[in-house]
Amino acid sequence: MKRLLLIHGAELIAMALLGSIPLFISNPYVLALLTLLAIYGILLIGLDVTVGFLGQVNLGHVAFLGLGAYAAGLMVTRFGFGMIPALLAAMAVGFILGALLALPSLRLEGPQFALATLSFAALSTTALNELEGLTGGAQGLSLTRPPWFGRELTPPGFYWLCLAMLVLVWVLMRNVLASHWGRAFEALRDSPIATDAMGVGTYRHKVAAFALGSGLGGLAGGLYAFNFQYLQPQSFTYDLMVILLLGVVLGGRKSLWGALVGATLVVLLPNLLSNHTLFRIFAGVGFLVMVVTGVQGLIRKRLRPFQALAPIVAMGMLVLGGFVVENTENWRKAIFSLMLFSVVVGLPEGLMGFLSEFLTQAFKVPPVPLPEPATLDSVLPVRIPEDSPILVLEDLKRYFGGVKAVDGLSITIRAGSIHGLIGPNGSGKSTVVNVISGLYLPTAGRVLLRGKPLPLGSLVKVAKAGVARTFQNLQLFGELTALENVMVALRGVYHSPLPLVLLGLAYKEEQKARAEALTLLELVGLREEARTKAKDLTYGAQRFLEIGRALARKPEILILDEPAAGLAHPDVLKQIEVIQRIQQRGMTIILIEHHMDVVSELCDVVSVLDGGRLIAEGSPETIKRDPKVVEAYLGQPQPPTGGISPLEPLTA
């Protein structure tokens, strides 16, 4: 309750203060700045969905502001619609065009995605400029603000409308970003492969997130048009995009408060550049912030020397420039570049990220209370043991050019068993599980799950069919807590459609998801680490977390790809116990492992691969003494005498 009062109380106070300003201040210029602040707040919340949650550099968001503005303007001037239909049209234009842009662009990563969005922004500006018959071209488009339910909106009235829109967007986005949708957005930024393997679906969530952010950009554009009542294509160019990115990064990514702080910066920047005194104060404060964060980063070993010193030097150049340069507006691009560089390198979490830790400690904000764990039987019901095949590989092949990684492999895995898959390095073990799980498409052959063909070449479809996996190289969602990692993958919990999620009506689902996730964390021994970010867990804990996350899929088959790799002996013993508890619930497990003691302790049947082919199969004891297996590992056949396992090198 204390946490809710502090957080939501701060939101109410901030919005109430913003809403009361026109009651005491009648200065038209101040009111215009506040109106623009509300509009840019909506715009930056939309941009943060892509930049903060998806982790993509979006250089096209300014285009949706412009397209939304012209859509609203044309709805009024050409078709005679009122303000509400015009704003809905602006939002729809942003949403639809955002989805269409996302479909090809989000298949790209990093610089390629940034260039694709930049090209879209340039194309949009050119189109608005050249379509003179529709948009007025370079001459611009003039419009009159339509009445609101039959009443003319005064400047204070329009400001309150924009603020009400900001509050509405704030509440709706807070609800969706705190739901499984928001967790999915963050997860796919950290590991798209793992997101697909958990059945979430990277691509569709990326498109949904980008379209949602673009729709908010269109809504902001509609309000922008009714605020200025005159539009020109030159208003929506690259310069504004850089300022918007600076606002998101400086305010703080993945934060509604960060968007508000960033919007304040965007609104005030022109005034800072035109007033020497204000600019010097701003540059001086920025320099001090970078000094403090740099020193703290070095002391706490969060920053390397370059990360600490480079922003200080950059902001020092701004301080010096404030006294040397006569007209700072002529140097705006250089100033924006130095500011953006300083924030990205020295303050990656932005001002709100910098302040959140301090404010949490100062006000002693308690963590979110966790519910009681659900019963294990309700999360992972015990399956009745079956003595029948559950997974069958038929003449499976996977070639990489001329390399036959898997060459005609046929294996039958029985329900409820732990089936080991071993072999020397390069024998094809990981390739086999990558084909089964859908990461690779087989060159030939079939994979049957309970007698039916398993979807091939799709991690999402295979996960939904009932196969979950861990990875040889950890694929956790580092920025999410242990609890959130498991909640991302939970199956059979989230049923509410997006409109109900937006309205905050999925609370019971969230509580149920937390309870089930806690149960799985308890199963793998991580309940006390529920609130710890995955990246801050020990290596051993991360290995256990990946198992717990895979169990959240409630799979028929669990694939463990070298789960004991790199673990200390006590953790290996603990992991053996956890896997045995999982099998006792009737779950089928495929285990790839190089620790022969783990294989001997756990596996009912072991299949040995060499050169992509099956060379032996049987119980662990039988496998240890098979001459073909000994030859595959040691290079030559040796008699199994003297009481020493011929596979002893596996435990090294």
Q: Is 504 helix (H, G, I), strand (E, B) or coil?
A: coil
Q: What is the DSSP string of 562-626?
A: STTTT--HHHHHHHHHHHHHHHTTT-EEEEE-S-HHHHHHH-SEEEEEETTEEEEEE-HHHHHT-
Query: Under a CB-based contact definition with an 8 Å cutoff, are residues 333 and 275 in contact?
Result: no
**Residue 12, token pair as written in the block:** 């109410």
Supply the pLDDT for residue 643.
Answer: 39
Task: Name the residue type at position 216.
Answer: L
Supply the pLDDT for residue 520.
Answer: 96
Q: Is 410 helix (H, G, I), strand (E, B) or coil?
A: strand
| Sign, CA torsion 38/113/233/90 | negative
**418-422: strand order across its sheet:** 467-469, 557-561, 588-592, 418-422, 605-610, 613-618
Neighbours of 154 (CB within 10 A): 11
Q: Is 614 helix (H, G, I), strand (E, B) or coil?
A: strand
Q: Is 458 helix (H, G, I), strand (E, B) or coil?
A: coil
**480 phi and psi, to 5 degrees?**
-95, 155
Domain ranges of the chain: 31-236, 255-364, 386-466+555-652, 478-553
Q: In whole angstroms, what is the distance from residue 472 CA to residue 565 CA?
A: 8
Q: Choose among 284, 250, 283: nearest CA to 266.
A: 250
**Residue 435, token pair as written in the block:** 């084909």
| Sign, CA torsion 369/372/377/378 | negative
CATH code of the domain occupying 386-466+555-652: 3.40.50.300
Neighbours of 215 (CB within 10 A): 24
**179 phi and psi, to 5 degrees?**
-100, -175
Q: In whole angstroms, what is the distance from residue 367 CA to residue 393 CA?
A: 48
Query: Under a CB-based contact definition with an 8 Å cutoff, are residues 339 and 262 in contact?
Result: no
Supply the pLDDT for residue 602.
Answer: 92
Supply the pLDDT for residue 6.
Answer: 56
Supply the pLDDT for residue 10.
Answer: 77
Query: Under a CB-based contact definition with an 8 Å cutoff, are residues 630 and 640 in contact?
Result: yes
Q: In whole angstroms, what is the distance from residue 44 CA to residue 61 CA?
A: 9
Rounded (10°) angle between helices 83-105 and 202-228: 140
The CA–CA distances, whole Å, from 628 to 427, 495, 561, 643, 645 equal 14, 52, 24, 19, 14
Q: In whole angstroms, what is the distance from residue 17 CA to residue 401 CA?
A: 66
Supply the pLDDT for residue 265.
Answer: 84
Strands 613-618 and 605-610: what pairing? Answer: antiparallel
Block means of pLDDT (10 residues each) for the chain, 652 residues, are 59 88 87 93 94 87 95 93 95 95 83 90 93 89 90 91 95 90 87 89 86 95 95 89 87 87 85 79 86 82 81 89 81 80 80 71 67 90 84 93 89 93 88 92 93 90 93 90 94 88 87 94 94 93 95 94 90 94 93 88 92 91 86 58 42 35
Long-range contact list for 101-110, CB < 8 A, 24+ apart? 101/60, 101/210, 101/214, 102/206, 102/207, 102/210, 102/211, 102/214, 103/207, 105/210, 106/56, 106/203, 106/206, 106/207, 106/210, 107/203, 109/56, 110/57
Q: In whole angstroms, what is the distance from residue 539 CA to residue 524 CA?
A: 14
Q: In whole angstroms, what is the distance from residue 92 CA to residue 102 CA?
A: 15
